Chains A and B, each alone.
Chain A
Amino acid sequence: MMKKIKKEDFLDYLKNWGKIVEIEEGIDVKDLFLPKEEIYLVFHKKKDSVEQDEFRNIERKVVFNIPPCYAKSIELLDFNFLREPLDSFYKERRDSILVVVKACRNPHNFCFCTSLGNSPFDRKGDIFIFEKDGYYFAEPLTDRAKEVLAWDKYEDVSQDEFKEVELEKQKVEKEIEKFDIVNLDKKLYSVFNDKIWKELSFRCVNCGACTFHCPVCYCFDIQDVDRTNWGYRERVWDSCMFSIYSYETSGHNPRAERHARMRNRIMHKFAYYPVSYKEYQCVGCGKCVEVCPTGFDIREALLRLKEVVNE
């Protein structure tokens, strides 16, 4: 059921639900769900006691105009953090966010969502919208979406209008380059010790920018920060591309070498994860390609791996 709602009206309803955070094209959203810095507790040293501060103040937000690839990544984050053992900080934040997904009509050079079985018009999030001449064609997808407005009051989009959405979808899908990595996941295990990883990682500087910007990467580290007379415990992003990520207290580092870290990143996304959970740990947004200072292109890497696997 897709409803036709005047733009201003729709935005008013959203405003009533929570503060609107509009996502500009090309801007990451992970920070809104899994912030790069999440404070767990704050304490002050008093004369002869330690006091804990109140500091969490989470307001309701409407994250507006998320592209479907990022909406998919939020589903994957949810899967990780809302399973048992549930992450209460994540849940509290997540429950306060309404996700409004906008059909992606302007794919860029890095996109490859279709190769992973996704579409720039995937119905995801709480509400899916398509913009047309001062109107939104909007589709509520969750119970939370039903709270936002009385959907029944609005007319369904006409058949012609619906067809238009479908046509636009086909047009945009065609603009995105597609390649095939079906069944690559299981085969990747067979090249674990291949020299290909050294070849692929020669250029990589292990900066981790690809994983920080990846909307699906969820690795974190918990740190205590000690200031004079006060301090806090916080969760910060971490990345398997860093050598200290796997550095053990014993002094041993199982992934001391560059290529082992590159291998872990690719294997986690395209082998370990899909083999365990039937989903890629990648949504094809291409952000990692865009931010990598050495122009490391995960699409090329996958195609190169496919060649090696089939040799």
Chain B
Amino acid sequence: MDDIKGKLKSMLRNGEIDGVLGFVEQKYPLKNYPLFAQTEDDINKLSNSLFNILNIGTYIRRIKDFKKIAVLVRGCEERTINLLCAEHQIDRDKLFLIGLPCKGALDVYTVEKEYNGKIDEIEEKDMSIVIKGNKGEKEILLNKVISSVCTSCVRKETPTVDLQTQSLNENGEDLIFPSVKEIEEKNYKDRWKFFKNQFEKCTRCYACREVCPMCYCESCFVDSNDPVWVEPGYSIEDIISFHLIKIFHMAGRCVNCGACERACPEGIRLSYLTSKITKDLIADYDYISGKTVQEKPMFGEYKLNDKGDFIL
């Protein structure tokens, strides 16, 4: 990270960029936050860590009036930006992308649950994290606390960026989506029970929508009161309507970054939905969202050999 920072600082000094968008480490509450660094001091604060739980793509559209900005991206964020460019939300020429290696993002709530005490410090190791606090020292293996979406990441590499910091052939993922398989194997009654249990916890705060880089509509269907598409309140059918409509809007656009799941204050496993559409699009259409800027969005394109078995 340090050598990139040097390069970024000199770019800033030379006026090549207006600033750098990335995440800043925050000791507690274990969640790193986005910063648009416009000074060398601020650039020093940027970090790439397991605690970057959001998707940086969400924040690009917040920066107004710039000539060019640098953005630190991981695999899913690079694809997010490609998609946002393909959907004409941002202009790729005005971005300088730096690809970061990624070990996945932590599920902070699981970390807290696993430790169950007052955490003072977390040290990041190769395959684990070591937590220190009032319950002593505890080492937790990464695969226990990494977001489930990250364990079935479709592309950790960042082939389309302007500056690479990782080699491009390090991973040959086997895309198994274990969490989706688990649900698919249930019969419909158990499946309903599972989702009902999950969504009963929903407070309709819409954090999941707000952190999603692809949920950028100025006005969301669920907020509309004339007409009312989804009734307010907490009846399970209304809550599920919101989530199902949202996920349909996300099909082919979701990058399965998992930001929505990690943001949900109720710990609702939204990745079951996002991973399911990701998995189905790969299986049925060989489509991975955001691979390049040139590629058209899933629903922006029609191929004669598209599978049509869902059309009635």
Contacts and interface: CB of A to CB of B under 8 A. Distances in A.
Contacts of B232: 221, 223, 225, 234, 236
B205 A207 contact: yes
Interface in A83-126: 106-110
A225 B31 contact: no
A244 to B, nearest CB: 5
B206 A295 contact: no
Given A109-B118, A212-B205, A226 B231 contact: yes
Contacts of B30: 295
A205 B207 contact: yes
A293 B209 CA distance: 12
Interface in B103-148: 118-119
Interface string A51-78: 0000000000000000000000000000
A128 B54 CA distance: 41
Nearest to B62: A202
A16 to B, nearest CB: 31
A212 B204 CA distance: 10
A264 interface: no
Interface string A209-224: 1001100000001010
B276 to A, nearest CB: 22
Contacts of A297: 26, 28-29
Interface residues of A, number: 36
A36 B234 contact: yes
Contacts of B259: 293
A284 interface: no
Given A36-B234, A236-B233, A294-B54, A206 B210 contact: yes
B263 A293 contact: yes
A295 B206 CA distance: 16
A237 interface: yes
A71 B274 CA distance: 39
A109 B206 contact: no
A209 B207 contact: yes
A2 to B, nearest CB: 27
A127 to B, nearest CB: 27
B233 A291 contact: no
B91 interface: no
Interface in B282-296: none
B265 interface: yes
A36 B33 CA distance: 29
A10 interface: no
Given A202-B34, A292-B31, A295-B32, A207 B118 contact: no
A262 interface: no
Contacts of B119: 109
Given A205-B210, A291-B265, A297-B26, 18 more contacts: A36-B234, A37-B233, A203-B35, A203-B59, A205-B207, A207-B205, A207-B207, A208-B206, A208-B207, A223-B231, A223-B232, A225-B232, A225-B235, A292-B31, A293-B53, A293-B210, A294-B31, A297-B28
The 10 closest A-B pairs by CB, nearest first: A293-B263, A295-B31, A207-B207, A205-B210, A291-B265, A223-B232, A207-B210, A203-B33, A209-B265, A37-B234
15 contacts: A106-B118, A109-B29, A202-B34, A202-B35, A205-B207, A207-B207, A207-B263, A208-B207, A209-B265, A212-B205, A212-B265, A226-B231, A227-B231, A293-B207, A293-B264
Interface of A: 36-37, 106-110, 175, 202-203, 205-209, 212-213, 221, 223, 225-227, 234, 236-237, 239, 244, 289-297
